Amino acid sequence: MKSILDYETVALLDEQDAIEIIDQTKLPGTTQLILLKTGEEIWNAIYLLQVRGAPAIGVTAGFGIYLLMKHSTAADYDVFMKEFHEKKDYLNSSRPTAVNLSWALNRMERKVEQAADHFDLTEIIAIMKKESETIKAEDIDVCRRIGENGLALVKPGDGILTHCNAGQLATCKYGTATAPIYLGHERGYHFHVFCDETRPLLQGARLTAYELQSAGVDTTLICDNMSASVMKQGLVNAVFVGCDRVAANGDTANKIGTSVVATVAARYHVPFYICAPTSTIDMNTKTGDDIHIEQRKPEEVTEMWYKERMAPEGVKVYNPAFDVTDHELISGIVTEFGVLRAPFDKSIREMFDRYKH
């Protein structure tokens, strides 16, 4: 039988002028593939978390801007760019925290700009298609490399805790935080993985526990308030989580609750690793204080997933989608180029100087 891991998280169906995604709001109960064709459909799918996870959002944005420009009839470069910027800004407004969204759109823009001196519509569209496909292919390669680098930090039989879903469903394959787990699993490491359920949207329960269990990984679901309990018992040898934006000093935004896990891990001397493709490291954001944290609807806390509302009518609700883990709590940032250690401002800068120009 087909497993959830046999589906593509995000696929370009070029002949149909569509992006195909798994509607992640329906998992794990229903695996429904949906097609996104218009700007509004793409925007909504990102906003509503039908497609989510920083790298998957980036890939969707790349395909999205390509499809939205594919049938442009612009007569010259300036007209084309005006249209491009309108669509880019629109897609970019769908979610604020994951930098991969603007990263992918900026990358598409840089490619288009290269054609400024010799405007040829057919050529520009072909370049955009190729670049969007490259973003996806690179995501798979980068995740695998993060997996190899992360795997070197743990040993067979280890207990690993993860928060939210930085899994295959958040990327195009392997995931980031789950990549060491999948590679270790292939190699007979027999990890014991604890998945935080991740209130309020339950990405850990609905997505991570589902995909890891489907892969045959030994998976235990815990509520978010249980991480201290399992760490105190010595059941966790390492924490791997993903990220939505890493600032230049190493402060890291990830799903709400991540900084709680990091604080607990520090208390029990469990190494806490951020798995970060360099596309998620934002050198233009100096510290975590400069990261825009998305606020979401109160109903996600008060009633969503419950059979009936579980909070008094009218109660005030605070519902930030992400929090920032201070760099002092991070043992290492696992990138495709290796594991960065403190001082992170220095190690991140050196990595960018060396590998990214």
Of the pair 320, 343, the CB lying nearest ligand MRU is at 320
- Residue 98, interface with ligand MRU (CB under 6 A)? yes
Q: Which listed range, 236-244, 305-313, 327-335, 348-356, lies at the site for ligand MRU (CB under 6 A)?
A: 236-244
Report d(CA 58, CA 51) in Å as an integer.
Answer: 10
Compute the least distance from the CB of residue 306 to ligand MRU, in Å: 19
For strands 245-247 and 252-255, give the pairing: antiparallel
Pick one of 131, 211, 224, 244: the residue that binds ligand MRU (CB under 6 A).
244
- Residue 45, interface with ligand MRU (CB under 6 A)? no
CB 162 within 8 A of CB 241: yes
CB 272 within 8 A of CB 231: no
- Catalytic residue chosen out of the listed positions 139, 224, 244, 323: 244
Of the pair 80, 288, the CB lying nearest ligand MRU is at 288
Closest to 69 in 3D by CA, of 132, 10, 114, 117: 132
Compute the least distance from the CB of residue 263 to ligand MRU, in Å: 17
CB 60 within 8 A of CB 52: no
Compute the least distance from the CB of residue 298 to ligand MRU, in Å: 16
SS3 letters across 132-168: HHHHHHHHHHHHHHHHHHHHCCCCCCCEEEECCCCCH
- Residue 259, interface with ligand MRU (CB under 6 A)? no
Contacting ligand MRU within 160-189 (CB under 6 A): 164, 166, 170-171, 175-176
How many residues in the shown chain lie near ligand MRU by CB under 6 A?
A: 19
- Residue 147, interface with ligand MRU (CB under 6 A)? no
Report d(CA 193, CA 306) in Å as an integer.
Answer: 26
Pick one of 69, 153, 243, 301: the residue that binds ligand MRU (CB under 6 A).
243
Compute the least distance from the CB of residue 179 to ligand MRU, in Å: 9
Q: Give residue number: closest CB to ligand MRU.
A: 242
Compute the least distance from the CB of residue 185 to ligand MRU, in Å: 18
Pick one of 58, 242, 288, 332: the residue that binds ligand MRU (CB under 6 A).
242
245-247 sheet: strands from edge to edge: 281-282, 245-247, 252-255, 322-325
Report d(CA 310, CA 301) in Å as an integer.
Answer: 9
- Residue 255, interface with ligand MRU (CB under 6 A)? yes
Site track 52-91 with ligand MRU (rule: CB under 6 A), x = hit? xxxx------------------------------------
Of the pair 81, 243, the CB lying nearest ligand MRU is at 243
Of the pair 292, 354, the CB lying nearest ligand MRU is at 292
Pick one of 12, 281, 321, 351: the residue that binds ligand MRU (CB under 6 A).
321
Residue 224: active-site member: no
Of the pair 162, 347, the CB lying nearest ligand MRU is at 162
Residues catalogued as catalytic: 244
Chain residues binding ligand MRU by CB under 6 A are 49, 52-55, 98, 164, 166, 170-171, 175-176, 203, 242-244, 254-255, 321
